[in-house]
Amino acid sequence: MRKNKRDFINSAFTILTLDDDPIMTATLQSYFQIAGYHIDVENDPYKAIERIRNCHYDILLLDYLMNPICGDQVVEEIRKFDRDIFIILLTGHKSLAPPIKTIRELDIQGYYEKSDRFDQLELLVESCVKSIRQLRTIRGYQDSTAALIEAMPQIYSLENTNCVGENILNKIIELLNCKNGFLKLNFPKDEGVEIQEFIVGEGIPGAKGLTLNALAERFSGKNQDETIFHAGLYDERENPIGFLAVGFEQAPTIFQSQLFQLFVRQCSSALSNTQLLSKINRSYYDMIQVIRQMVDAKDIYTRGHSDRVAYFSYRLASALKKDESFCERVKMAGLFHDVGKIGIPDEILISDRKLTAEEFGIIKLHPMKSHSILSVVSYFKEIAPIVLQHHERIDGLGYPHGLKGEAICEEARIVAIADAFDAMISTRRYSSALSISEAVEQLRIYGGTQFDSHMAEVFIEVIKDWDKLTAELELCDKL
Ligand SMILES: [Fe+2]
């Protein structure tokens, strides 16, 4: 009766017994098998060492006096590669036991004086099992915490609300090693709330399409499915912002439960940060738009310039067969390339007279000023370096850093062409507008010195259809 109760629990622990007396090992095997343990037998000390090296054992029961080497020497070898195995030394008589100092040094958990009855030995084994179980619990927590610590920087670094949900769900599924998951996010936006649902595997039965309140109601109360973990996600003001649930194929462990709860807490906080960041990004974007329009409006001759540079940059990038995210990047860079001019005094920026070298030096600071304005928020982090380089030249005679050839990023080489082309075809206070054919001529002349010659040629192809381009430009008042 007693053994049956313990069978299941004890079978989770493996024992190796080593004695050069086969009768002793057979007896021990039989006794501990009855107690529900998985127990293997070895009669050769060297073979036992190899076996422990290659297989996992929780407990070693070994004889002290053996041939060709004694128990303490066996333990010494084993401790060189396994500090975890619990060891109980069996001695023929107390007086034959190794000194206590040796027992301590070799980290032997106990010794047992052989007798016809094994009750005392069984108690010793049970006490080892208790310690191993506690150690497993501690290690489980350690592993879970380590996995969570590893996962959280990725979750915290998510800035785009579109990918945050997918990443959170994938990460928890990976952490908990489960198959099904469901996440609902309610992100407050300027107008109302953006609601998103994410599903992994088969999702969670009955969750899809429910509101956060309905989800809380549906998954609360008694008699809930034990294979499902679920939790609400809240912002820093305790407003509900989401609901996360994962489903397991079999009853999850206590570690998985702890890990889920820790993850949910971290997630709520990461989501709050993401919300805050997205608010900051939005308001900063609005501010930069205002600055851009102010720069354009400062000078009647440059009105609409940044819109056109954005448009030409986008068209050139498309013609160069760049992917959509690249094209969008150059469009944004074109739009904001001159925001740094906000810091340049009007008497210099819109001066009718010839500028002094010192004044021109101040104008030349604008790519760096644009860069520093745009670098403030992560939203613009990809376009800030492009903007910084939009006055660099292929021959290295540009500014601010005099970069040469391919040291200038592709995006900046594109914006440089679009920027110069728009300046050529616009009337400026110091020059009249060139015709399209004259501007094309300039692009050809300066291809390879000011401009990337291949890009300039591609751009010339793009503007061959000038009537279509101007019609499109008129259509999109704002890009
Ligand atoms: Fe510029």
Please determine, for residue 19, whether its predicted confidence score (pLDDT) is greater than 70: yes
Do 273 and 264 form a contact (C-beta atoms < 8 A)? Answer: no
Q: What is the CATH number of the domain that holds 198?
A: 3.30.450.40
In this structure, is residue 284 part of a structural domain?
Answer: no
pLDDT digits 0-9 by tens, 65-93 = 888 888 889 999 999 998 889 999 888 76
In this structure, is residue 317 part of a structural domain?
Answer: yes
Neighbours of ion ligand 1 (CB under 5 A): 338
In this structure, the answer to whether residues 465 and 317 fall within a common structural domain is yes
Please determine, for residue 431, whether its predicted confidence score (pLDDT) is greater than 80: no
Distance 370 CA to ligand 1 centre (A): 9
Distance 404 CA to ligand 1 centre (A): 18
Residue 191 is part of which domain span? 157-277
In this structure, is residue 218 part of a structural domain?
Answer: yes
Distance 275 CA to ligand 1 centre (A): 33
In this structure, is residue 335 part of a structural domain?
Answer: yes
In this structure, the answer to whether residues 310 and 187 fall within a common structural domain is no
- The most confident of the ranges 35-44, 297-306, 344-353 is 35-44
In this structure, is residue 368 part of a structural domain?
Answer: yes
Percentage, residues of the chain above pLDDT 90? 37
Mean pLDDT value across residues 373-380: 80
Q: What is the CATH number of the domain that holds 425?
A: 1.10.3210.10
In this structure, the answer to whether residues 335 and 425 fall within a common structural domain is yes
In this structure, the answer to whether residues 132 and 161 fall within a common structural domain is no
Distance 367 CA to ligand 1 centre (A): 6
In this structure, the answer to whether residues 312 and 449 fall within a common structural domain is yes
In this structure, is residue 283 part of a structural domain?
Answer: no
Residue 272's CB: how many other CB atoms inside 10 A? 17
Distance 355 CA to ligand 1 centre (A): 16
Query: What is the rounded end-to-end Cα distance, in angstroms, of the chain?
Result: 81
Distance 365 CA to ligand 1 centre (A): 10
Q: What is the CATH number of the domain that holds 84?
A: 3.40.50.2300
Distance 366 CA to ligand 1 centre (A): 7
Number of domains forming the structure of the chain: 3
In this structure, the answer to whether residues 439 and 366 fall within a common structural domain is yes
In this structure, is residue 83 part of a structural domain?
Answer: yes
Distance 46 CA to ligand 1 centre (A): 79
In this structure, the answer to whether residues 120 and 173 fall within a common structural domain is no
In this structure, the answer to whether residues 185 and 252 fall within a common structural domain is yes
Mean pLDDT value across residues 442-464: 95
Distance 158 CA to ligand 1 centre (A): 32
Say how far apart CA 312 and CA 465 lie, in whole Å. Answer: 12
3-state secondary structure 263-318: HHHHHHHHHHHHHHHHHHHHHHHHHHHHHHHHHHHHCHHHCCHHHHHHHHHHHHHH
Question: Can you name the residues that pair with 246 across neighbouring β-strands?
Answer: 181, 229
Please determine, for residue 430, whether its predicted confidence score (pLDDT) is greater than 50: yes
In this structure, the answer to whether residues 317 and 458 fall within a common structural domain is yes
Q: Where are the beta strands (DSSP E) in 92-203?
A: 110-113, 180-188, 193-200
Reported pTM: 0.54
Distance 338 CA to ligand 1 centre (A): 5
Please determine, for residue 192, whether its predicted confidence score (pLDDT) is greater than 80: no
Q: Which one has a higher pLDDT value, 181 or 171?
A: 181
Please determine, for residue 350, whether its predicted confidence score (pLDDT) is greater than 80: no
In this structure, the answer to whether residues 403 and 309 fall within a common structural domain is yes
Please determine, for residue 60, whether its predicted confidence score (pLDDT) is greater than 90: yes
pLDDT band for position 149 (cuts 50, 70, 90): low
Distance 391 CA to ligand 1 centre (A): 6
In this structure, the answer to whether residues 238 and 366 fall within a common structural domain is no
Lowest average pLDDT, out of 242-251, 300-309, 334-343, goes to 300-309
The whole-number pLDDT of residue 150 equals: 67
In this structure, the answer to whether residues 432 and 368 fall within a common structural domain is yes
Mean pLDDT value across residues 122-137: 87
Distance 420 CA to ligand 1 centre (A): 9
